[in-house]
Chain A
Amino acid sequence: MSGWVDGLFAPFVEFSFMRRALVACLALGLGCGPVGVLLTLRRMSLMGDALSHAVLPGAAIGFLIAGFSLTAMSLGGFAAGLTVALLAGLVTRFTGQREDASFAAFYLISLALGVLIVSSRGSSVDLLHVLFGTILAVDDASLLLVASIASLTLLTLALIYRPLIVECFDPGFLRSVQARGTAYHLMFLVLVVLNLVAGFQALGTLMAVGLMMLPAAAARFWAQEVWSMAAVAAGIAVLSGYIGLLLSYHHDLPSGPAIILTAGMAYLLSIVLGHRDGLIVRFLPRKHLQT
């Protein structure tokens, strides 16, 4: 029994790289959870995916210039993600192109460019690093970066929470009581890109978006207001990080996929068990109430 309980804590007590990884997951979850909830509410779930791929060429250029430096790769990734988000946004506003189509177009260009750059100069091992991340090799500098991004995200969200939600729920009303909500939308897109950059350090560009979308998608089965959904999503993200790290330690699995698969399990369980629209509630309904 004590061995079993030990297994829950020992890896983190014993190894500093596990402690760093855990703290990184904590920070990532706190930032990514709420951002993911707002992305799903804005019906932009797949935009997060597109942006996460768009980060790649920037990270690759950073890699070419400075080698395996997380700072350089993060800066590059941030610039590339933001460029794609802004270009897609501008094309949507000034032409008739729909937002999802223009995001898809730009991220595909960006992704191909990224793979081209990495494979022409680096080895396939490097490419794997960029694509799948290295949460067990997070150093102090990148830990600081991830934590700063999480703090900045929560602070910014607190400041723009009300208009962001109104812009999402009833954009016409926001326009009728004050100027356009475009500024809030842009600030939010910056937060999305920042969190993807934070996530890609740990989980790689391919899976960074997993910790954003899976907990958010699960949260809607448990809560019915935005703030509670964000809290549930952050909780699921942090727990997925913890459990995923334990699984990867005890069963010698790669940590990134272990974390995302844990979040995926949380999503599947929520579909079945969630008390808001979950399958059990839907197919085993309780007796209805009097009118």
Chain B
Amino acid sequence: MHPAALSLDNLTVCYDRHPAVHHLSGAFAGGSLTAIVGPNGAGKSTLLKAIMGLLPATTGRIDHAALARSDIAYLPQQAQIDRQFPITVLDVVLLGHWQRIGALRAVTAELRAKAVAALAAVELNDFQRRPIRSLSAGQFQRVLFARMLLQDARLILLDEPFTAIDARTTADLLDVVRAWHAEQRTVIAVLHDLEQVRAHFPETLLMARSGIAWGRTAQVLTPDNLRRARQMAEAWDESAPPCGVRP
């Protein structure tokens, strides 16, 4: 087994003292392809945000091993992206070169060619000059995948990447995910479609705030585990007592 790319040690992340991720421990192996599944409110997106450093850990810690910020690419669930913004598809994709161009360096012909190739890889040839406001949701998701292709990250975090995306686009983008896996990149995706997870994701973390099961997908997605995940209390109990688990 590859050494862990990312490990969680007794991680708890809270909103106003109410835990969304609760005493979660485990590791994502380097080069693994893991699905995170669980009911709504199970803390899946919160976990990704905590890994990105967008939310602080209340207790426990996240060990990024040797990963720097530039080694991580993140596709948030409801990106706060202004889809009406006057910018072209190519300019959005070129942002994937941020680690090479930063705020001031020029976009060379070589970088531009790579961006065009990335657009071709998600089957958006001839879209370079199109303003993003003219794209459908699926086309725009392809653009964001093209941008991630250029980021050349070793750890890729995808938060519900195929929600509201049609079957053909999903299949194409899953091909991209599989290619990342083949290149030994670590990919973690929050998903809801269990059939899709069983078909394409070797590893699964099933969580309901706490971890329910984590390992080979076939052993994680058992009826018994899924039932336990569903039983998670949805409610936000205002008078919940302090947690008794020792940190």
Contact = CB atoms under 8 A, between A and B. Distances in A.
Interface of A: 41, 159-160, 162-163, 165-166, 168-173, 175-178, 220, 223-226, 229
A166 B82 CA distance: 10
Contacts of B26: none
Contacts of B74: 172, 176
A177 B99 contact: yes
B86 A172 contact: no
B229 interface: no
A226 B86 contact: yes
A159 B104 CA distance: 7
Nearest to A41: B85
A229 B86 contact: yes
Interface of B: 52, 54, 69-70, 72-74, 76, 79-82, 85-88, 91-92, 95, 98-99, 101-104, 131, 151
B81 A169 contact: yes
Nearest to A175: B54
Contact of B70 (A165, A172, A177): A177
B106 to A, nearest CB: 11
Contact of A176 (B52, B85, B86): B52
Given A41-B85, A225-B88, A177 B79 contact: no
A163 B91 CA distance: 13
Top 5 A-B pairs ranked by shortest CB distance? A169-B85, A177-B98, A170-B81, A176-B74, A163-B103
Contacts of B52: 176
A158 to B, nearest CB: 9
A172 B85 contact: no
A168 B80 CA distance: 10
A163 B80 CA distance: 16
**Of listed A41, A163, A177, A226, residue having the most chain B CB within 10 A:** A177
A194 B141 CA distance: 39
A226 B80 contact: no
A159 B52 CA distance: 27
Contacts of A166: 95
B13 to A, nearest CB: 17
Nearest to A162: B103
A168 B86 CA distance: 11
B76 A165 contact: no
A166 B101 CA distance: 13
B90 to A, nearest CB: 11
A226 B52 CA distance: 30
Contacts of B81: 169-170, 172-173
A223 B87 CA distance: 11
B86 A220 contact: yes
B173 to A, nearest CB: 18
Contact of A162 (B70, B88, B104): B104
B131 A224 contact: yes
A160 B76 contact: no
Given A169-B81, A177-B98, 19 more contacts: A41-B85, A162-B103, A163-B103, A166-B95, A169-B82, A169-B92, A170-B80, A170-B82, A172-B76, A172-B81, A175-B54, A176-B52, A176-B72, A177-B69, A223-B86, A225-B87, A225-B88, A225-B91, A226-B87
A41 B86 contact: yes
25 contacts: A159-B103, A160-B103, A162-B102, A163-B103, A166-B95, A168-B85, A169-B82, A169-B85, A169-B87, A170-B95, A172-B76, A172-B80, A172-B81, A173-B81, A176-B52, A176-B69, A176-B73, A176-B74, A177-B99, A177-B151, A220-B86, A224-B86, A225-B88, A225-B131, A226-B86
Contacts of B98: 177-178
Contacts of A225: 86-88, 91, 131
A226 B132 CA distance: 13
A169 B140 CA distance: 14
Contacts of A177: 69-70, 98-99, 151
Contacts of B88: 225
Contacts of A220: 86
A169 B69 CA distance: 21
Contacts of A173: 79, 81, 95
A72 B92 CA distance: 44
B39 to A, nearest CB: 24
Contacts of B92: 169-170
**Of listed B54, B74, B86, B103, residue having the most chain A CB within 10 A:** B86
A170 B79 contact: yes
Contacts of B70: 177
A175 B81 CA distance: 13
A175 B70 CA distance: 11
Nearest to A184: B103
Contacts of A160: 103
B195 to A, nearest CB: 29
A178 B70 CA distance: 8
B85 A171 contact: no
A273 B67 CA distance: 53
